[in-house]
Amino acid sequence: MDNKRKTALVTGASSGIGRKTAIKLAENGFQVIGAARRMDRLVELSDQFKGIIPKKVDLSIPEDTERFCQEIKGLSESVSVLINNAGYSIRGTLEDVSIEAARRIFEVNFFSLISVTRACLLGMRRLREGTIVNLSSIVGKFTFPMGGVYAATKYAVEGISDALRMELRPLGIRVITIRPGVIATEFNEVATEMTGDLMPMTDPDYKPIYEAVGTGVGKMFTGLTIPDPDLIANIILEVVLSESPKSTYAAGPFTDEILSKRFLLDDDAFDRFWTEKIGITEMKIE
């Protein structure tokens, strides 16, 4: 792909995977629009790396997403590479996550992805060229207790990406889904901040489940080396520059041990495998 003077849009460019991706695209000759809420971070990024244009948007507010999309549609140079990366996680059982929190996370992780993609598609269709990279997760294909709402947003990203891939291939537009495992970014910190401490407010029925899952998942992290976001940013760059990228990529811890099992086992066998791994197969609360 000849990337000279091409415009890329990276959502969530103020941190983690998005930040690293914006830098790598700019270093490879793209003009990069880096979007997020924290403008100070974006300005610092654009001061440090030539070719990054900071744009402020709060993707949890539909009106602000709409304003941002109008701005994108009005650009003289169409966006030909879109990295739908902005996102976050919350934790909690279904009864512990408020409906407002569930709506908000869907707004950021899913609905804004649809709006921003639509804003870029007119230009891509006109050019009969474009690359859309959607950040899913390993939990775009399986989930765990207390992870249902976040995983649901990523299942939704997977669904829309699969359909888009087929809709847009005839028009020369590629759609690629990335499934990171655990990556060392601000992701975990943000999830804790967005969730708060659930233990004091959860019903006693759920306490042993939180504890068991905490212990089970904790064990899986023992001795684990968590890769930095370069791992995923390098894959995204490779995808963008490739003549024939694959439809999906997965990288990081738990992709081999768990995600690949999800594809090998039927639903019941995976359920057994996974609940055994997190130590709740035999759990019964009286």
Ligand X SMILES: NC(=O)c1ccc[n+]([C@@H]2O[C@H](COP(=O)([O-])OP(=O)(O)OC[C@H]3O[C@@H](n4cnc5c(N)ncnc54)[C@H](OP(=O)(O)O)[C@@H]3O)[C@@H](O)[C@H]2O)c1
Which are the catalytic amino acids?
A: 150
| 159 phi and psi angles, rounded to 5 deg | -65, -45
Cα 285 vs. chain centroid, distance in angstroms?
34
Should residue 176 be labelled a site residue for ligand X when binding is judged by CB under 6 A?
A: no
Return the residue of 8, 9, 16, 30 that touches ligand X, per CB under 6 A: 16
Return the residue of 5, 27, 29, 38 that touches ligand X, per CB under 6 A: 38
Should residue 86 be labelled a site residue for ligand X when binding is judged by CB under 6 A?
A: yes
Return the residue of 1, 3, 28, 37 that touches ligand X, per CB under 6 A: 37
Nearer to ligand X, 188 or 242 (CB): 188
| Nearest CA-CA partner of 172 in 236, 128, 226, 229 | 128
Should residue 83 be labelled a site residue for ligand X when binding is judged by CB under 6 A?
A: no
Query: How many residues are listed for the chain in this entry?
Result: 286
Q: How many CB atoms lie within 10 A of CB 27?
A: 13
Tokens of 13: 């460019």
Residue with tokens 């996102």: 87
- Binding to ligand X in span 257-276, by CB under 6 A: none
Nearer to ligand X, 15 or 78 (CB): 15
Please tell me the distance from the alpha carbon of residue 221 to that of residue 192, in angstroms, as a whole number: 17
Should residue 46 be labelled a site residue for ligand X when binding is judged by CB under 6 A?
A: no
Size of the site for ligand X (CB under 6 A): 29
The residue sitting closest to ligand X, measured at its beta carbon, is 16
Binding marks (x or -) toward ligand X, 103..122, rule CB under 6 A? -----x--------------
Nearer to ligand X, 41 or 277 (CB): 41
Return the residue of 26, 53, 132, 182 that touches ligand X, per CB under 6 A: 182
Q: How many helices (H) and strands (E) does the chain have?
A: 11, 7
Tokens of 149: 């709402």
Should residue 210 be labelled a site residue for ligand X when binding is judged by CB under 6 A?
A: no
Return the residue of 6, 185, 216, 237 that touches ligand X, per CB under 6 A: 185
Q: Which amino acid is at 12?
A: G
- At 198, is the secondary structure helix, strand, or coil? coil
Should residue 249 be labelled a site residue for ligand X when binding is judged by CB under 6 A?
A: no
Should residue 248 be labelled a site residue for ligand X when binding is judged by CB under 6 A?
A: no
Return the residue of 87, 92, 123, 245 that touches ligand X, per CB under 6 A: 87
Should residue 8 be labelled a site residue for ligand X when binding is judged by CB under 6 A?
A: no
Sheet bearing 248-251, strands edge to edge: 52-56, 31-36, 7-11, 79-84, 130-135, 173-180, 248-251
Should residue 127 be labelled a site residue for ligand X when binding is judged by CB under 6 A?
A: no
Q: Which stretch binds ligand X (CB under 6 A): 30-38, 69-77, 162-170, 256-264?
A: 30-38
**Cβ partners under 8 Å of residue 68, min gap 6:** 35, 55, 57, 59, 116, 119
Instruction: Tell me the closest approach of the beta carbon of residue 137 to ligand X, in angstroms.
Output: 4
Q: Which amino acid is at 4?
A: K
Q: How many CB atoms lie within 10 A of CB 247?
A: 12
| 32 phi and psi angles, rounded to 5 deg | -115, 125
Nearer to ligand X, 60 or 206 (CB): 60
**Cβ partners under 8 Å of residue 200, min gap 6:** none
User: Which residues are at the interface with ligand X (CB under 6 A)?
Assistant: 12-18, 36-38, 57-60, 85-88, 108, 135, 137, 180, 182-183, 185-187, 190, 229
